[in-house]
Amino acid sequence: MKAEIINPFLESARNVIEQVIQISPSTGNLGIKTIEFVKGDIWIQVGMTGQMSGNIVFGLKESVALKIVSIMMGGFVLTEMDEMGQSAISELGNMISGNASTILSNQGVTVDITPPKIVNFESSSLMQSKKALSIPLMMDGVGEMDIQVMIS
């Protein structure tokens, strides 16, 4: 796996988060890790086909997802990740992935993305643990989101 494949997703995530929640995220260290589904975490999975195929998974604690969704909804406080919250956090993953696919296209790499799917601890048995390129984004006052890219 080449580390460069995560760069369009990292660039896109920074831009989208800055636009949507007005926070400039900082970046942690790039590494390879096994995706582990933990109770209380939410994962947004977006598939990718074309010249690059695989999955992009955005992982975050439910409390962080609730803060992000509340900001996205103009300050309306959510206390649980209901259907509206899941739709909003899915859209964040969709915006990041769509923007990354545009960046890739500008680099001459054609990809299509699938609609985002929420994966939580209860539904994680449907996905097998895999190794992924991973980089955390830290958002001051909100929390952390892991970007994990699995390309086959």
Q: Which domains does the chain have, with CATH numbers?
A: 3-22+34-151 (3.40.1550.10)
| Phi (first) and psi of residue 92, to 5 degrees | -60, -45
* Rounded CA separation 126/20 (Å): 31
Task: Quote the CA–CA distance of 120 and 41 in Å, as a whole number.
Answer: 6
CB 52 within 8 A of CB 5: yes
Q: What's the CA gap between 152 and 16, in Å, rounded?
A: 26
In the chain, % of residues over pLDDT 70? 91
Nearest alpha carbon to residue 137 among 50, 21, 40, 53? 21
- Record the pTM: 0.90
Tell me the C-alpha distance between 24 and 32, whole Å.
24
pLDDT band at 128 (very low <50, low <70, confident <90, very high): low
Tokens 């830290």, located at residue = 138
pLDDT digits (tens, 9 = 90+) for 41-84: 999 999 999 999 999 999 999 999 999 999 999 988 889 999 99
Each residue of 92-123: pLDDT tens digit?
999 999 999 999 999 999 999 999 999 876 65
If one counts every other C-beta atom within 10 angstroms of the C-beta of residue 105, the result is 14
Beta strands 131-139 and 143-151, pairing class:
antiparallel
CB-hemisphere CA count at 13 Å for 141? 7
